[in-house]
């Protein structure tokens, strides 16, 4: 791609391009990748907002498709220079079966890899997750760790298991020969908890607070740090990796990079209050209002209720044994690998990220 710096001749494919992160990646590419000729957006559910993107100089091609269907993936990948694979089932609430999570997140990723090999696409960026590392099932803290920090990554939950398997497939595919005889170059990005415009869980917390008279009740000690990263900076890292991967293939190929920015280290609940507080909510309690054993009991009760109600309706509350365990285990990163390897610097400051997110919560709720 070296000779296309001045001309618009690149074709990118973003899988999951209508999702929370995917939409930001799509918009960031249109704003900040001048070499784009065509941007393909592949998703199971296409958003109506895509229509507004079709008026610009870049050809925007919306493709309704399923990553579990190899032929649909191959048709979408054929002719693309770069694939950014964000599509996945982000389910830690028991909404879908473990089999479905595996089929989408693992088999779907395998289908993307094979499509690149069979059609000659050389650059594949995979949206992995912090969950590939932890928190592990032993609840061991990962305190401001980096990509080389020793940590026993042991999982049981279908979601982290699927992300870990998919990431391994992507990294192992680095160097495979693609159609045309050149090597496939892959890398994986590991966001911590992404926040920002479009974050459904943030909206769920907001609605929960409204239902409780403007109050949320602390369940997790403030001392338990949880890594968070602004969606715009995650999108920017994807764009930057896609731009640099060819020229720095020897350094970046087969590598993993945590997604990070200058968002502060706080507990998950305290971090959310950076946005929900200015929207009128209050977090009650400087310490957890309930003993941990009671939270464990309530989480287990939610699992029982989910199972009992499943024939009638989907009951998927925020509190379940997995989300409680994850929220209650410190997991934060401190790294500069992305800066060292491809010159990444956050595009949005903490102040900008916070303001944009507050504005979104306010308008999203206002529109609702």
Ligand X SMILES: NC(=O)C1=CN([C@@H]2O[C@H](COP(=O)(O)OP(=O)(O)OC[C@H]3O[C@@H](n4cnc5c(N)ncnc54)[C@H](O)[C@@H]3O)[C@@H](O)[C@H]2O)C=CC1
Ligand Y SMILES: CC(C)[C@@H](O)CC[C@@H](C)[C@H]1CC[C@H]2[C@@H]3[C@H](O)CC4=CC(=O)CC[C@]4(C)[C@H]3CC[C@]12C
Instruction: Catalogue the active-site residues.
Output: 159
16: left (phi over 0), alpha (psi -120 to 50) or beta: left
Query: Of 25, 36, 39, 89, which lies in the binding site for ligand X, with binding defined by CB under 6 A?
Result: 89
Residue 319 binds: one of ligand Y, ligand X, none (C-beta under 5 to 8 A by kind): ligand Y
Residue (92 or 279) nearer to ligand Y, CB: 92
Residue (201 or 252) nearer to ligand X, CB: 201
Residue (196 or 253) nearer to ligand X, CB: 196
Residue 327 binds: one of ligand X, ligand Y, none (C-beta under 5 to 8 A by kind): ligand Y
Query: Angle of helix 20-32 relative to helix 231-244, nearest 10 degrees?
Result: 50
Q: Does 169 bind ligand Y (CB under 6 A)?
A: no
Shortest-Cβ-distance residue relative to ligand X: 19
CA distance 22 to 102: 20
Shortest-Cβ-distance residue relative to ligand Y: 193
CB of 311 to ligand Y, least distance (A): 25
Assess whether the previous peptide bond of 135 is cis (omega < 30° from 0).
yes
Give the Cβ contact number of residue 298 at 10 Å.
16
Give the footprint of ligand X on residues 19-78 (CB under 6 A): 19-22, 43-45, 66-68
Q: Does 324 bind ligand Y (CB under 6 A)?
A: yes
CA distance 338 to 17: 23
- Token pair in block for residue 163: 């992300």
Binding segment for ligand Y (CB under 6 A), chosen from 31-39, 129-137, 173-181, 342-350, is 129-137
Binding segment for ligand X (CB under 6 A), chosen from 189-197, 266-274, 293-301, 317-325, is 189-197
Residue 216 · residue 269 · CB < 8 Å: yes
Query: Angle of helix 350-367 relative to helix 268-276, nearest 10 degrees?
Result: 70
Binding segment for ligand X (CB under 6 A), chosen from 87-95, 274-282, 322-330, 348-356, is 87-95
Handedness of CA 190, 193, 195, 199 (dihedral sign): positive
Give the footprint of ligand Y on residues 224-243 (CB under 6 A): 226
Chain centre distance of CA 215: 28
* Rg (the chain; Cα; Å): 20
CA distance 189 to 180: 27
Residue 240 binds: one of ligand X, ligand Y, none (C-beta under 5 to 8 A by kind): none
CA distance 203 to 17: 20
Q: Does 53 bind ligand Y (CB under 6 A)?
A: no
CA distance 191 to 256: 11
Residue 14 · residue 40 · CB < 8 Å: yes
Query: Of 326, 338, 347, 361, which lies in the binding site for ligand Y, with binding defined by CB under 6 A?
Result: 326
Handedness of CA 46, 352, 130, 25 (dihedral sign): positive
Query: Of 29, 58, 80, 108, which lies in the binding site for ligand X, with binding defined by CB under 6 A?
Result: 108
For 363, the enclosing helix (H) or strand (E) is helix 350-367
Q: Does 193 bind ligand X (CB under 6 A)?
A: yes
Pattern of binders to ligand Y over 242-281, x per CB under 6 A?
--------------------------xx------------
Q: Which residues bind ligand Y (CB under 6 A)?
A: 90, 92, 129-131, 193, 201, 219-220, 226, 268-269, 318-319, 323-324, 326-327
The footprint of ligand X (CB under 6 A) covers 16, 18-22, 43-45, 66-68, 86-90, 104, 108, 127, 129, 163, 191, 193-194
């Amino acid at each position: 791609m070296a000779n296309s710096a001045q001309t618009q001749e690149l074709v990118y494919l973003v899988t999951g391009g209508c999702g929370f992160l995917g939409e930001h990646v799509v918009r960031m590419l249109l704003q900040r990748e001048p070499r784009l000729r065509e941007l393909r957006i592949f998703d199971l559910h296409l958003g109506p907002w895509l229509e507004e993107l079709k008026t610009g100089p870049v050809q925007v091609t919306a493709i309704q498709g399923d990553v579990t269907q190899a032929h649909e993936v191959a048709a979408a990948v054929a002719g693309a220079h770069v694939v950014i694979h964000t599509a996945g089932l982000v389910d830690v609430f028991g909404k879908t079966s473990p089999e479905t999570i595996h089929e989408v997140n693992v088999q779907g990723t395998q289908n993307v890899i094979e499509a690149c090999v069979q059609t000659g696409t050389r650059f594949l960026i995979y949206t992995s997750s912090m969950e590939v590392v932890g928190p592990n099932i032993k609840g061991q803290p990962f305190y401001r760790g980096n990509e080389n920090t020793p940590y026993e990554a042991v999982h049981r939950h279908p979601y982290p298991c699927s992300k870990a398997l998919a990431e391994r497939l992507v990294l192992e595919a680095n160097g495979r020969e693609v159609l045309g005889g050149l090597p496939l170059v892959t890398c994986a990005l590991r966001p911590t908890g992404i926040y920002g415009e479009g974050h459904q869980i943030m909206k769920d917390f907001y609605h929960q607070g409204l239902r409780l008279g403007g109050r949320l009740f602390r369940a997790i000690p403030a001392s338990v740090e949880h890594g968070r990263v602004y969606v715009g900076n995650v999108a920017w890292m994807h764009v930057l990796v896609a731009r640099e991967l060819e020229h720095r293939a020897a350094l970046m190929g087969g590598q993993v990079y945590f997604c990070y920015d200058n968002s502060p280290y706080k507990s998950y609940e305290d971090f959310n209050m950076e946005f929900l507080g200015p929207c009128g909510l209050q977090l009650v309690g400087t310490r957890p209002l309930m003993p941990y054993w009671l939270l464990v009991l309530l989480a287990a009760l939610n699992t029982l209720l989910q199972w009992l109600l499943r024939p009638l309706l989907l009951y998927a509350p925020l509190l379940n044994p997995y989300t409680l365990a994850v929220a209650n285990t410190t997991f934060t990163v401190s790294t500069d690998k992305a800066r060292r390897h491809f010159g990444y610097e956050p595009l949005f400051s903490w102040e900008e990220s916070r303001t944009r997110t507050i504005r979104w919560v306010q308008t999203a709720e206002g529109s609702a």
